[in-house]
Structure 1
Amino acid sequence: MKKILIFLVVGIFGNLFYSHAQKAQIYNLEKLYSPVVGDGNFSVWREESVLIPIRFDSKDLSAVSITYEGPNSQVEFYKLHEVWADFSAGNCGETKTQGTFEKVKVPDRAELMTGNSFNPDSENQWILLSLRLNQEVPAGSQSYKITFTQKQKKSEVKGSLSIRDRSLEGISGLDFYSDFWQFPVAMADFYKTKPWSASHWKEVERMFDQLGAINQHSITAFVFWDLYNTRIRPLDEMLIQVKKLPQGEYRYDYSTFDKYIQTAIDRGISDQISIHNLFPWNGFLFYFDETKGEVVSIQTQPGTPEYQEFWKPLLVDLEKHLKEKNWLDKAVLFVDERDPNQTLALAQWVKSIAPGFKMGFSGDFYPFLSPWMDDYSTPVNVVLDPAELSKRILSSQKTSIYTSCFEQPNQPNFLLTSDLRDIYFLTQLSNTRGYNGFLRWAFNLWSSEIENSAIYSDLPSGDAHLVYPNGQVSIRYLVLRDALEEIKKFKLLGKLSYPGDMVNATNRYFLINIEEERYQMVRALKNYLNE
């Protein structure tokens, strides 16, 4: 009987202890759904951000407060929410729809904390600490400590910062851009609000603010409702309202278009206006037919009479309007992964009727197409011949790389199931190739379940978004911002001594397909930047 009582007492107290046991641990910035413990030691410049992932483990889901002790810094804590994702890289459209893929929860949605306290979502709560060392912090090694307090019980993580005698001062003035295509109407659909209503405009403003923080250079514009127009919507939701009068003439209302462009420019995104819909994948064009009293659609292709009858007056009128607004020099008619021969013929036709427009193209590199494309983005596995790149540079034409849903699981990408180190690799790869920036096709094409699930029927998880609703970003967004800081560091060091060996090392082609070699390159690059 005494033995039974002892076991019961031990069991009760053991369960009580276990229920209140808690632990905090620093991890490496890699695949957080399969975490690797980190040592918490970093080499940094002043005014550079440092991202530190921490997991707080506790059976208790009551409130937790966090305190930071260390060098004088701007401190931000993000609560990372787990989002469902699938391992479907390399599968798009029908192959994704017909496939079955393993699912996993990934800490990706980043909610900026206020008051440095949070309520855990689960027993394993991810937190991201962002430190930005102030200018007056002296060089040398300094320690830091982060304390988690829950019901008077404390857990600590510690590390050290090796502070270099250099200053970064953010990414302002960086001559390397991000170009994420925007889907403002998808935001309106998520919030169940009318596109271009007062509440929608507030979200558009916030979208451009978020883009500005990652050095976005281009405004994604369109004629109809977005880049792909998968369903017909009302006339007043068009960015440019196109009407066909009873006598057959077209009239255009640019009021929403103008407000959209000006909103971006007012927030510092003013280098380029990328106008889509000229050669869409589904081949549709739309207008409001005043005779029928409804929006109608026509499926056609460049070069056909129906196509030219619609687009010629629109391009001529839009060119005139953009010239009046002093925006024509920024305007680029963008074509996405279409037939290069058709694209060349289209560019030649556009130049014959509206010569003020520039052209842009994303897709494989074709030397015969290159002279016509002021903005050319190629897949990550395409390497331009140095002579072709020199021609583009001498012609002041922009060149970038992009990733999409087609990259295989072992290849670098921005997906939820990608290794976060890939973001550092991809941006530096574009930079060391001598390109102007990095492009990705979707900033915020949200589903109705995006806050909790990024599983799409036809796309791998994370392919269609970098930010979340309600002003929340992703950890991928924050890593990208940090990667752009590394590019600025690289360019600053390059002014002191040309980093030729590092450039050559980063450009080794096999890195795209061999993960471990790629991550060794990322480590070597960080060591170089922080020598």
Structure 2
Amino acid sequence: MSNREGEYNNLLEDIMHIQAGLANEYFKLRYGLEAMNNDEAIYNNKSISLDCARGSYVAFQIVLKADEAFTLNVGDEPYFSRDSAQKFIRVAVDGALDFRLNIIDMAIDNEMYLWGEALLEQAVREMPANRAVSVWVEAAVPAGTSHGVYGGKIRLYIGQLFEEEQAMELSFSVEVYSYTLPAPSEYCCYLDLWQHPCNIARKAETPLWSNKHFEVLESYIRSLAELGQKVITIAASQLPWAGQSCSEEHRTPANLYEYSCIRVYRNQDETLRYDYSVMQRYIDLCMKYGINQEIEVFGLVNVWNGKFPVICPDYQEPIKIRCLDADGVYRYLTKPEEIDHYIVSLQSYFEHKGLLSRVRITADEPRNREAYQKSLEHIKEIAPKFIFKAALNHAEFLSTFQDEIQDFAPFIDCIFREYSTVCEAMEKFPDKRFLLYVCCGPDFPNTFVHSPFTETSLLFYITAFLRMDGFLRWNYTVWPENPRVDARYMTFPAGDTHFVLPSNSGTVLLTLRWKALKRGIEEFEMIRQLEKQGSTTLVQIYTKLFGTDIPEEFVAKSGDNCDREMFESIDDASFLQLRRELLQALSSR
């Protein structure tokens, strides 16, 4: 410690005792039983060195706490606590890059621990004594940034009321490599995060499909595009997932029903007509942000019915299509021929718009092979131009439906159990797409509130290593009742239902887990780039992480699933080093 730093610290201790240090972006503050808290070691870190690609961003965290209550301010706005005697700490960053700061809010997990989660837009928060808080510090590094090392300072200004602020300093450096990541719209990682726009309307308190609803949707769609999302999600009937059984859950209340964006009317002569304007408006919004490679349609095959009554017993699927009759009464279609007419019309609409080749009639975890086969055959009979896709958690479906389905998304454990079957299908059908997915399981690797940041990176290393085309997850905004207060739902691990949160202003609130997704996707991109170049560095990276550079060998030693014990080191330092090696290899060419 320099003499100047010592003078600062002595001066600050006269005001109040403050502990402050720097952590890498992978750090996730944990709070609960004192023995489980993880902040103490961070306070020894008064400087930090960072690496970054161009076309990306650099990020780290400031962790601090004080022995008395204080007001934390990461902006430049004035703020006075109702407790006029309360001191404040104002955080500012000085450097060549343009940094933005966000206080990190905490989220509760199923074990009642609190973890770093939401990146708050509000710049001020009052903190209790002896309670650690972390601050996300991020700067964009545009593609045109000169490569080299950039230095900077973090200043903590401490004061009370109208007194002159006192300051302490922490330092950082950023090495910007010459490698430039592509724009997210050009990412090769095929990202499919399912969208649930009705839940966004509920939390924003806007009428469903109204102009205000679409205004609110804009920031959510933009956040998906920033990840490189490829797929537009459409619900073509009411309640395609039966609300995730929310009507049966009373411990963690939630309304998770999704509704169709297609309006159906019955004319006086009993004929049906369809209004696709809302659906098209949503498609256009997604395409505006570059989400344009696929339109996945739910609610036509493998419809989840829960405990709801079956409206049309003579139809092979419990499809619920709401129709406004000519007499002004809403009824549901109960005749098989009317449901068929609806599906045929939908195919015709997509064909007329030139979108049909991008449409996928999607099934979520079909369980009954015979029933699913019957549904596929029926739709092929009445609307033969539709193409099919399925998220599969039963490995035998992959063999059974290789010819019928164009896009497969097997569950990660299915891939490990039946990797030879997956490889055979990928070799036999090189034009088909194969995505890896996780959901409320497995516990590892996953993207829950309690999951380390690096587990998300690991998921994308695994996805690339196993030669999958990309990643799928069912959640983005499937929020329980008060997700900012309690993110738990049913027995699902906290965070399983979403990656982002609703802000009080109606816009999207990003989380550390969203940032982890972004990093993992970037690493997938770098891996694929090195594969194209035939780099030997990738062999070394795979061997270091998986113990081999041959996927079949790795899967063979795994048994039926991917387990922590399969990896020698998956801590923060190891993944920071892997990322650095990727950057160095790509920058040397």
TM range (shorter): 0.7 to 0.9
1:253 to 2:262 alignment: no
* Contact kept in structure 2, 1:140 and 1:162, CA below 8 Å: yes
Give 3-state SS (helix, strand or coil) of 1:202's partner.
helix
> 1:372 is paired with a residue of what secondary structure?
coil
Segments of 5+ residues of structure 1 without an aligned counterpart are: 1-13, 87-101, 299-305
Q: Give 3-state SS (helix, strand or coil) of 1:154's partner.
A: strand
- Judged with a 3 Å threshold, the aligned counterparts in structure 2 of structure 1 residues 136 and 315 are, in CA distance, closer, same or farther, namely closer
Match in the other structure for 2:286: 264
**Partner-residue secondary structure (3-state), 2:58:** strand
CA, structure 1 residues 392+153, in 2 after alignment: closer, same or farther (shift >3 Å)? farther
Corresponding position of 1:475: 512
SS at match of 2:199: helix
Q: Distance in 2 between matches of 1:376 and 1:518?
A: 31
Q: Using the TM superposition, give the Cα deviation of residue 405 of structure 1 relative to its aligned residue in structure 2, in angstroms.
A: 0.7
Compute the RMSD of aligned alpha carbons: 3.1
Aligned residue in 2 for 1:20: 16
Q: Which has the higher contact order (CA 8 A, sep 6+)?
A: 1
How far apart, CA to CA, are the structure 2 residues paired with 1:76 and 1:371? 50
- Count of residues paired in the alignment: 485
| Match runs of 1:263-302 below 5 Å | 263-278=285-300, 279-282=302-305, 283-288=318-323, 290=325, 293-296=328-331
Decide which moves more: 247-256 or 275-284: 247-256
Change (3 A) 1:22 1:294: farther
d(CA) in 2 for partners of 1:81, 1:250: 50
String of CA shifts for 1:390-449, please: whole Å, max 9, x gaps.
1232xx2111011111213xx111111111101111122112222221111011112331
Pair 1:334 & 2:334 matched: no
Aligned equivalent of 1:368: 400
Q: Distance in 2 between matches of 1:194 and 1:167?
A: 42
Give the superposition deviation at 1:519.
0.8
CA offsets per residue over residues 266-290 of structure 1, 9 Å max, x none? 2211111111011211135132262
Quick one: which of 434, 443, 453 aligns to 1:399?
A: 434
2:380 aligns to what? 351
Deviation at 1:172, TM superposition (A): 4.3
Q: 1:311: which partner in 2?
A: 339
Assess if the C-alpha contact under 8 Å between 2:238 and 2:321 holds in 1. no
Contact 2:185 2:291 in 1 (8 A): no
- 2:230: which partner in 1? 217
Determine the C-alpha separation between the residues in 1 that align with 2:287 and 2:55.
27
Which residue of the other structure, out of 560, 564, 583, is the alignment partner of 1:514?
564
Q: What CA distance in whole angstroms lies between the structure 2 residues aligned with 1:369 and 1:44?
A: 43
- 1:528 aligns to 2:561 (yes or no): no
Deviations 1:296-334 (A, max 9, x none): 458xxxxxxx68434321111111111111111111111
Rounded Cα–Cα distance in structure 2 between residues aligned with 1:153 and 1:163: 32
Matched, 1:82 2:106: yes
Does residue 1:60 correspond to 2:74, yes or no?
no
What is the deviation of 1:76?
2.3
Deviations 1:462-489 (A, max 9, x none): 1111111132111111221122222222
1:168 maps onto 2:181 in alignment: yes
Say which SS state the counterpart of residue 57 (structure 1) adopts: strand
1:415 maps to: 448
Which letter does structure 2 place at the counterpart of 1:181?
A: W
The alignment partner of 2:70 has SS state of coil
Maintained 8 Å contact 1:287/1:296: yes
Q: Once the two structures are superposed, what CA deviation does each residue of 1:20-46 show, in whole Å capped at 9, x if it has no partner? A: 222321234144215364652333333
Find the counterpart in structure 1 of residue 489 from structure 2: 456
1:371-399 Cα offsets, whole Å, 9 max, x none, are 22222111112323222111232xx2111
Aligned-pair distance for 1:54?
1.9
Structure 1 residue 240, shift from structure 2 partner: 0.8
Secondary structure at the aligned position of 1:427 is classed as helix
Match of 1:96 in 2: none
SS for the counterpart of 2:117 is: strand
**TM-score for both structures, normalised by structure 1:** 0.82
Deviations 1:145-181 (A, max 9, x none): 3222232233333333344343335544111122111
Tell me: CA distance 1:49–1:18, structure 2 relative to 1, closer, same or farther (3 Å): same
Please say if residues 238 and 299 of structure 2, whose CA atoms lie closer than 8 Å, have aligned partners that are also in contact: no
2:138 to 130, 142, 148: 130
Deviations 1:247-272 (A, max 9, x none): 65433221211111112112211111
**Unaligned residue ranges in structure 2 (runs of 5+):** 1-9, 31-36, 74-88, 160-164, 248-254, 306-317, 585-589
1:107 equivalent to 2:129? Answer: no
Code of the residue aligned with 1:323 in structure 2: it is E
Within 2, Cα distance between the matches of 1:143 and 1:154? 19
Query: What is the rounded CA distance, in whole Å, between the counterparts of 1:424 and 1:307 in structure 2?
Result: 49
User: What corresponds to 1:466 in structure 2?
Assistant: 499
Choose 123-132 or 475-484, whichever is displaced more: 123-132
Distance 1:332 1:138, change over 3 A: closer
Measure, in 2, the Cα distance between the counterparts of 1:355 and 1:435: 28
Q: Which deviates more, 460-469 or 338-347?
A: 338-347
Where 2:501 maps in the other structure, the secondary structure is: coil
Q: Return the alpha-carbon distance in structure 2 between the equivalents of residues 104 and 315 of structure 1.
A: 47
Select the residue among 13, 26, 32 that pairs with 2:29: 32
Amino acid at match of 1:316: V
Give TM-score, length-normalised by structure 2.
0.75
The Cα shift of 1:337 comes to: 0.4
Is the 1:62–1:150 contact (alpha carbons within 8 Å) kept by the matching residues of 2?
Answer: no
